[in-house]
Structure 1
Amino acid sequence: MKYSLPRVAPLALACAAAMSPVFAVEVEPGLRSEAESNGSVGTLIVLQAKAPKQLLSPEGNYLERRRELVNMLRATAEVSQAELRTWLDAQGIAYRPFWIVNMIEAELTPGQIDALEMHREISAIKANRAVAMQGPVLGPIPDAAVGSGIHAPQATEWGVNKVRAPLVWAEGFNGQGVVVAGQDTGIRWTHNAIKAKYRGWNGVSADHNYNWHDAIHETGSSCGANSPVPCDDHSHGSHTVGTMVGDDGGSNQVGVAPGAKWIGCRNMNAGVGTPARYNECAEWFLAPTDLNGQNPDPDRAPDVINNSWGCPADEGCTAGNEVRQAIENLVAGGIVFVASAGNDGSSCQTIFSQPGTLDAAFVVGSMTSSDTMSGFSSRGPVPGLGEVKPDVIAPGSSVRSITNSGDNSYTSMSGTSMAGPHVAGVVALMMSVDQSLKGDPARVEQILRETSVPISNSQVCGGIPGTTFPNPVQGMGRVDAYNAYLALDDIFADDFDD
């Protein structure tokens, strides 16, 4: 898909190459040989120009700051991409431009890579490989609390109770006024437990503009390409949204924040993602658009995003690459970015994939209902990372939530993918208690850490004992919605006393 954006006067790229004999674009090792073997290869063409975010004004509320950020990112991309897009058009190369990161997705031949390699405005040409998601375990897994590992359906599911969400509900706060989001395999929006919570549903009809985006532009699954309505071709995405907001009004209270509204973006095709798909969803979340991809509106961005996906190095996500920049821009836009740690435990240094390896992400490990670490939960430390990861842990073993197989269907899954949405739900509860937390990820994350409850653990990772917090096994411990509520209540009391 190509977008009509203002262009500056073009200059032939061949001229740029001729004027810059000592300049060379960084081409990911092995990318050209991959193109030679297959005839062409999926790439991300990353431009040199970066939005000068240091010039953004700290004044105004978070919505005003987000608008200014989006305008700056879009303007930077529109001007700096103009020459390259003119060349791509002339070559008949299909492409997709981005502004959340200044890059263009395109399928290139070896000759086209060579032609771009000396262009001064390009920083790098990187891989955009498709890699299957590391899936959760379906059904129950062994859990010391229940012997067989089978959790019987409960009116309020064990994970929701474990983070003490019902105590916050009892105080009158269930996520009302907050928008949560999920980028994943999609969502069965008509499910009885989440339909009424969809921001696009008014009780009579659905409007999917600004509430749903499909980043999958080719067929290959039951959802097809460019689905105009929320669709889930895998069930993983529906399950995570259910844990955030699910409640059928009866015996299926599976969600932590049933009063919140949700929106969504499909970033995997039957569980297979690429860096471009992740960034496309990130860009849409920062400024949601209508179903035609037009009229972006940063005021309709979500307050918190759950990310139960991973992008390993072999997919093109390496330290310092474009997915990291997109996530940093989401957080700069005032959005809390919750990410699952991964399911490669139980050894130390097993958090391998972005976004779990990133400072900007609030990373979540998994625990069982018996207050032990889930064996599969990835542990830190992450080499070279300035913060201890995971940040916290949450229920992730044998978590029951909705599926995509019917409007009243449920199943249990296990994985850090199931832990992350518990935390996103807790964030929604916190924001419903204190609306001033919206647009302030740093403050939200600080409160989450300070109010978490450590569980017993003797494993030592990175030389940090299990009795020292944070540590690379459980971070600061299990998130606790009621502790967070009490902390916010104390703040209100102090403000009142002052």
Structure 2
Amino acid sequence: MRRRLGEGGFFTFRVLIGVLLCFAGVMIVLFALGKASAQPRTASAPTNKIAPEVLADTAGGKSASVIFLLADQADVSAGYGMKDQDARGWSVYNTLSQHAARTQKGIRNLLDSRGVTYQSFWVVNMIIANADRALVETVAARPDVARVDSNRPTRWIEDPSIANFGVTSGNPSTIEWNVQNVNAPQVWAMGFTGQGIVIGNEDTGMRWTHNALKPHYRGWNGVTADHNYNWWDAIHSGGGVCGPNNQAPCDDSGHGTHTTGSTSGDDGTGNQIGVAPGAKWIGCRNMDQGNGMPSTYTECFQFFIAPTDLNGQNPNPALRPHVINNSWICPTSEGCTTGDELRIIVENTQAAGIFVEASAGNSGPPCSTVNDPPAIYNASFSTGAIDISNTLAGFSSRGPVTRDGSNRLKPNISAPGVNVRSSVNTSDTSYANFSGTSMAGPHVVGTVALLWSARPQLQRDIATTKMVLQNTANPGVTVNPPQTCGGIPNTTIPNNSFG
């Protein structure tokens, strides 16, 4: 699974100001909220329920970590019609958790009787267990099981031709170009910096003590830190320099510190690296030195829907973030599940009123390279990358999505993702320039924070927010050479090159 990406999007991303309803004297009329229609929540069981990867991993008497996806998935579509947002969060959480507790009993009793170690989830109705072939076949034969997928660890490796790891510590003389590109300073001047908005970031972790991040961490009150409900570590073994099960945010890579800085970073002394410095951030580590698994991604989404204390107890959906940055992908070529797990997770997260942004990927310029979760889903708002001249980055993945046969137009939008300067984990004063769709996504997240700060009536109104972003984005993106993907030339808006 890839962890750190920079990917492409819809129109460009300079729109911010127009999005805030009043810029250059032009009023933008908000469209009536179109509630996203929930897809059917019951997973369809294939003829052969067992994924080829599972068969390979359990051959010759071996055991492997596998996913048992239940056929009966909870229906949380009622969340879209709820006006009270705290009640909405609790409703989605209660529906999901109670449904899982009720429908998992049979499988859990079976696993308990055999002394099998397992982890159950409710954000998607599934159980992950260490199983041999005999157990896999026994569980797959059950009518309440839709599919058995692999929970293989996967490796995301940044293309060295894309990333620039030059580390600096000096203060810049101006606001970073990428922050200016989305017109964030003009919005700040109007008095909106993202205040009142909470951003979730699941990544390689965060160096929370970094000077540009610490003031904006929800767990820091200016005197003491409280990491309960503000941080979760989904890495339970290994963990590199951080080790496993950290009780405070830690970043074993630098990637997560960089993406978090681009959403809300500002050290107050000139390093204005974040789009929404008035927003607060919370975090979850879903990768171990660049290695992730479906289970770690799932664990982070579950934490964000209902944050818990550091013991994983006492969940409180009222503390969930407004928007989540996902600068990672999960390719099948590296062992990622081919089932519906991540799609269901993203849909359930959106039903809870959380905007899910996902980097498009760094596999461009060919068409149909936006081909991996979570960027491929209809519920995800996927982001491509442009440079300082508003030219689409060559590495930015293009649509349409062919993996699921939908030919879905992707990415949804594009944002600055080339030579982006932000915080890194080397020290509390270190910065570096990275490139990738991983760097682009945080600009969308920061813009959502600014928009929702300026127009509270739009908060958690995801359908309208997506429409506003797409309809007001700057379409002036250069694609060199010109490109037609999915039968749509890049001169037509929207398109499968940059959105």
The yes-or-no answer on 1:432 pairing with 2:453 is yes
Larger Rg: 1
Give the conservation status (yes or no) of the 8 Å contact 2:485–2:496: yes
Structure 1 unaligned residues grouped into runs of 5+: 1-22, 142-150, 476-498
Give the conservation status (yes or no) of the 8 Å contact 2:151–2:295: yes
Moved more, 31-40 or 70-79: 31-40
Query: Partner letter of residue 138 of structure 2?
Result: A
TM-score normalised by L of structure 1: 0.86
Query: Partner letter of residue 124 of structure 2?
Result: V
- Matching residue of 1:469: 493
- Matching residue of 1:196: 215
Moved more, 77-86 or 426-435: 77-86
Give the conservation status (yes or no) of the 8 Å contact 1:214–1:266: yes
The yes-or-no answer on 1:456 pairing with 2:470 is no
Question: Equivalent residue of 1:439, what SS?
Answer: coil
Query: Partner letter of residue 33 of structure 1?
Result: A
- Post-superposition shift, 1:140? 7.4
- Post-superposition shift, 1:248? 0.7
**Count of residues in Structure 1 that have an aligned counterpart in Structure 2:** 444
d(CA) in 2 for partners of 1:297, 1:220 = 27
User: What does 1:255-270 align with in structure 2 at a 5 Å threshold?
Assistant: 255-270=274-289
Give the conservation status (yes or no) of the 8 Å contact 1:306–1:420: yes
Give the conservation status (yes or no) of the 8 Å contact 2:152–2:336: no
- Matching residue of 2:21: none
d(CA) in 1 for partners of 2:78, 2:216 = 38
Give the conservation status (yes or no) of the 8 Å contact 2:488–2:496: yes
d(CA) in 2 for partners of 1:140, 1:272 = 19
CA offset digits 1:175-230 (Å, max 9, x no partner): 11100110000000000001010000000110000000001111141111111100
Give the conservation status (yes or no) of the 8 Å contact 2:61–2:133: no
Moved more, 79-88 or 271-280: 79-88
Give the conservation status (yes or no) of the 8 Å contact 2:307–2:319: yes
- Matching residue of 1:403: 424
Give the conservation status (yes or no) of the 8 Å contact 1:140–1:398: no
- Post-superposition shift, 1:408? 0.3
- Post-superposition shift, 1:319? 5.5
User: What does 1:2-13 align with in structure 2 at a 5 Å threshold?
Assistant: none
- Matching residue of 1:14: none
> Which structure's relative contact order is higher, taking Cα pairs within 8 Å and 6+ residues apart?
2
d(CA) in 2 for partners of 1:432, 1:452 = 19
Query: Partner letter of residue 453 of structure 1?
Result: N
Question: Equivalent residue of 2:370, what SS?
Answer: coil
- Matching residue of 1:385: 406
User: What does 1:284-323 align with in structure 2 at a 5 Å threshold?
Assistant: 284-317=303-336, 320-323=339-342
- Matching residue of 2:379: 360
d(CA) in 2 for partners of 1:236, 1:198 = 17
Question: Equivalent residue of 2:301, what SS?
Answer: helix
d(CA) in 1 for partners of 2:470, 2:185 = 20
Question: Equivalent residue of 1:366, what SS?
Answer: strand
- Matching residue of 1:488: none
- Post-superposition shift, 1:317? 4.0
Give the conservation status (yes or no) of the 8 Å contact 2:350–2:379: yes
User: What does 1:261-280 align with in structure 2 at a 5 Å threshold?
Assistant: 261-280=280-299
Question: Equivalent residue of 1:73, what SS?
Answer: helix
Question: Equivalent residue of 1:43, what SS?
Answer: strand
- Post-superposition shift, 1:63? 2.4
TM-score normalised by L of structure 2: 0.85
- Matching residue of 2:465: 444
Give the conservation status (yes or no) of the 8 Å contact 1:275–1:316: no
- Post-superposition shift, 1:437? 1.6
Give the conservation status (yes or no) of the 8 Å contact 1:39–1:110: yes
- Matching residue of 1:343: 362
Question: Equivalent residue of 2:438, what SS?
Answer: helix
Moved more, 395-404 or 25-34: 25-34
CA offset digits 1:372-401 (Å, max 9, x no partner): 111110111112336421111000000000
- Matching residue of 2:128: 105
Change (3 A) 1:378 1:328: same
Q: 1:167 aligns with which of 180, 186, 189?
A: 186
Identity of aligned residues (%): 46
d(CA) in 2 for partners of 1:154, 1:373 = 26
Give the conservation status (yes or no) of the 8 Å contact 1:34–1:40: yes
The yes-or-no answer on 1:187 pairing with 2:206 is yes
d(CA) in 2 for partners of 1:220, 1:206 = 22
- Post-superposition shift, 1:29? 2.1
Q: 1:214 aligns with which of 218, 226, 233?
A: 233
User: What does 1:45-194 align with in structure 2 at a 5 Å threshold?
Assistant: 45-54=68-77, 58-135=81-158, 137-139=162-164, 153-194=172-213
Change (3 A) 1:307 1:154: farther
- Post-superposition shift, 1:85? 1.4
d(CA) in 1 for partners of 2:210, 2:77 = 44
Query: Partner letter of residue 113 of structure 1?
Result: V
Structure 2 unaligned residues grouped into runs of 5+: 1-45
Give the conservation status (yes or no) of the 8 Å contact 1:358–1:385: no
Change (3 A) 1:57 1:262: closer
